[in-house]
Amino acid sequence: MKATRIRSITLTILSFVIGISIIVCFLHPKTEMGKVIEHYKKENNQEKLKAARYLIENIPGHFSYDSTYIHEYRPVIEKIYSLRERGLSIEVIKKQVNPLMDSLIAIYPLSNVYSTKESDLTAIKSERLISNIDQAFESYYCNPFKDSILFDDFFEYILPYRVQNGYCLENWRQYFTDNYAFRDKHDFLNVHQLCDSLLYNFKDVKIGWEVANQFPYIKLDDYLKSLMTHCPQKCWFNCLILRSFGIPAAIDFVPACRVHEMGHEWNVLKLKDGLYPFEPFWEDSIRYLKAFYTRKKIHPKIGPIQFPKIYRKTYKMCISELLNHSVNSGEEIPPFFQNPFIKDVTEEYFKTFTIESPILKDTKKVDYLYACVMGYNQTWVPVDYGEIKKAKVVYFSPKVYQCFTPKVYHF
């Protein structure tokens, strides 16, 4: 089992490394990726050429789940849509929809969807990538508030053709600009008003706790019909609509904390003058949350918030020190830290410190320990890691005034 686990981690990272190496071959002028590069070379557009290289260099590791079997579950979405149109309550919808979802899963296992991944490196066509780049630049330069955005942030928070892995490749930019464009964006006083006006279109979207929880939302059309999901899907959706109009948006999250035992996700605007986090579902009374998330204010609904660590989902590959160590040494690490498309952004929210703690037990078999907090069902959830040095463990950026317990990881 241990050998299998180490092999799994190594193969995961090797697939990225090999993917990066294969890009050299994929950049031949006759390949799909090569056609994109040649297109912008012929245009002599250095900005778009740089953007194309950025997307292509970070494609390895990105994927869509297989959508072949999605139609088998579509009666669930049609049922939700029909009941919502009639104005029925979530409780009524739940009672009618959940048995249907359960019966379909019994016939068509969800493994049919999640067991097959289609790599973007081989799936994406040059026309789609070129269209995405052109539309991203158009949205950025047509944004009357582009001066409030760092161009480097454009690359990570507007340009990418996908927000996160698993979702199908779709032309979401075209959908939103065709259906939600404003006659005159100059009517808004700042980027926050523009952002709120876009999100307000979906203020009636509700948190669909326990309503077809297992439905595989991997296509935009299914979400638009249901409009009843959880924070992760709504965060993804918000990024799509905001990025379509040249607004840099991202998804930040905490793996676990006191008020969110199963973790929590929210959106952020990434602007020159700072970071603006907001809840994915519309709140008239509370829009921006940084004062609550940094504990400068007490949240009026859930009380004091104490996040131990905060991470951000990225398109760019972020190989951490821990992940690199795992590949080179074979040391087992928790699945959470095997994801190369997240980065630690705790310092954007709080002042952090390097903390050293003596080790009282023998840990010769491992080089890293994990700072854990209590999560769902009384389980310890690793949220940070520290390197063992001279009988001490060193954590580099945990949140202060937070209680952690150090743990060794063994699979």
| pLDDT tens per residue, range 337-369 | 999 999 999 999 888 777 777 776 767 778 888
Give the whole-angstrom CA distance, residue 150 versus residue 156.
Answer: 11
Residue 213 above 90 pLDDT? no
Residues with Cβ within 8 Å of residue 197, at least 6 apart in sequence: 182, 188
User: What is the CA angle 411-218-60, rounded to 5?
Assistant: 60
Q: What local confidence, expressed as pLDDT, does residue 376 receive?
A: 77
383: nearest Cα among 194, 283, 255: 255
Going by the DSSP 8-state scheme, the letter that residue 274 receives in this structure is E
Strands (E), 66-221: 117-119, 206-207
Give the whole-angstrom CA distance, residue 215 versus residue 81.
Answer: 14
Give the whole-angstrom CA distance, residue 160 versus residue 119.
Answer: 15
Residue 130 above 70 pLDDT? yes
- And the tokens for 144? 């009357």
137: nearest Cα among 270, 251, 272, 243: 243
264: nearest Cα among 359, 358, 184, 383: 383
Backbone dihedral angles phi then psi of residue 381, each to the nearest 5 degrees: -115, 120
274: nearest Cα among 141, 149, 142: 149
Give the whole-angstrom CA distance, residue 183 versus residue 202.
Answer: 19
Model confidence at 5, pLDDT cuts 50, 70, 90, reads very low
Q: What local confidence, expressed as pLDDT, does residue 398 receive?
A: 57
374: nearest Cα among 236, 279, 255: 255
- And the tokens for 105? 């899963």
**Range among 25-34, 100-109, 261-270, 365-374 rated most confident:** 100-109
Strands (E), 56-203: 63-65, 117-119
Going by the DSSP 8-state scheme, the letter that residue 89 receives in this structure is -
Coil vs helix vs strand at 119: strand
97: nearest Cα among 187, 209, 19, 253: 209
Residues with Cβ within 8 Å of residue 405, at least 6 apart in sequence: 371, 372, 373, 380
Coil vs helix vs strand at 303: strand
Residue 393 above 80 pLDDT? no
247: nearest Cα among 221, 274, 277, 268: 268
CA distances to 255, 325, 357, 368 from 392, rounded to whole Å, are: 25, 18, 5, 10
Give the least confident one: 50-59, 63-72, 148-157, 363-372: 363-372
Q: Which helix (H) or strand (E) holds 190?
A: none
Q: What is the pTM of this model?
A: 0.90
Count of residues in the chain: 411
Give the whole-angstrom CA distance, residue 268 versus residue 276.
Answer: 5
Model confidence at 142, pLDDT cuts 50, 70, 90, reads very high
Residue 205 above 90 pLDDT? no
Residue-wise pLDDT tens digits, 73-104: 999 999 999 998 998 988 899 999 999 999 99
Q: What local confidence, expressed as pLDDT, does residue 1 receive?
A: 43
Residue-wise pLDDT tens digits, 299-329: 877 777 778 899 999 999 999 999 999 988 8
Give the whole-angstrom CA distance, residue 192 versus residue 195.
Answer: 5
CA distances to 1, 372, 409 from 364, rounded to whole Å, are: 21, 20, 13
